[in-house]
Structure 1
């Protein structure tokens, strides 16, 4: 278990830093950025506020993933990762990622449609970037579902092995 501690401790430090950065962004950076955007570009209407809500909800989803990952690291440290308790945290990660992906896909679809029907905004770069982000998010969600299935198989195999021993 000491070899895994060499990875767990730095990972926990990074998780704390990312969580703190997200919290700082939620409280200070994002509201200021989007209120400035709304003030500077009144023709955008409610879009800056829609983007603010999306960004705040996406940050919350990432924070849920961080907390669940922390709990899973605790289970790894106590050699209980192959237990039913782990699936509660893995399921929470999957659902947080699904919510984040659906929010991103919905707002991306809306923004791409706005860009497409507004001649002065027809820059192909933004729709391509948004589509790429949605596709990458979908890959991440499905990869997590596969990882959950692998954990399920490993848990079953471990319990079978413990019965044999």
Structure 2
């Protein structure tokens, strides 16, 4: 039990550090990085990247709530499914925005003769494929949680 409490504490510390870092990126770094760009690009990029960062922050909050349920030994409850569903939705929204942005960048690169280089679009394609993994894994985990919750309810009835 002591080890699991230590792991929960360390995970919470990492979640707080990640949330603080994302907050700094969202408020200070991102606007500064986009300051030299054109107005239309700057506004669109700021909106899309802000939504992606907010989705990741939502995943952090949901993970925190799930850790609380783990600590109370209530992870196999209907309440946990809501938090896992929220994580899946946030990851899905972030992935769709990221994939759309990568597609737009790749289109600009291929349309502009001076920029035609397959390296960046290929790297973006790889990042889009790899970033789909957490979304799909979360959907699998959601199904496993649903099954485990049903088994736990059956076991509680038997006992």
TM class by shorter chain equals: over 0.9
What's the CA shift string for 1:51-94, capped at 9, x where partnerless?
Answer: 22222111100000000000000000000000000011101000
User: Which runs of no fewer than 5 residues in structure 1 stay unpaired?
Assistant: none
Residue 27 of structure 2 is aligned to residue 33 of structure 1: no
Q: Deviations over 1:102-161 (max 9, x none)?
A: 101111111111111111111212101111111112121111000111111111111111
With over 3 angstroms needed to count, the CA separation of the structure-2 counterparts of 1:69 and 1:101, relative to structure 1, is same
Quick one: structure 1 residues 130 and 48, their matched pair in 2 at CA, closer, same or farther if it must change by over 3 Å? farther
Counterparts of 1:7 and 1:144, CA distance in 2 = 21
Question: What secondary structure sits across from 1:22 in the alignment?
Answer: helix
CA distance in 2, matches of 1:48, 1:108: 16
**Count of residues in Structure 1 that have an aligned counterpart in Structure 2:** 159
1:7 is aligned to 2:7 = yes
Instruction: Report the TM-score, using the length of structure 1 for normalisation.
Output: 0.91
2:137 pairs, out of 140, 143, 155, with 143
Pick which of 64-73 and 115-124 moved more: 115-124
Residue 97 (structure 2) aligns with: 103
The corresponding residue for 1:118 is: 112
1:16 aligns with 2:16: yes
Which structure 2 segments of 5+ residues have no match? none
- Identify which range, 49-58 or 69-78, moves more after superposition: 49-58
Aligned to 2:77: 83
Query: Offset at 1:49?
Result: 3.3
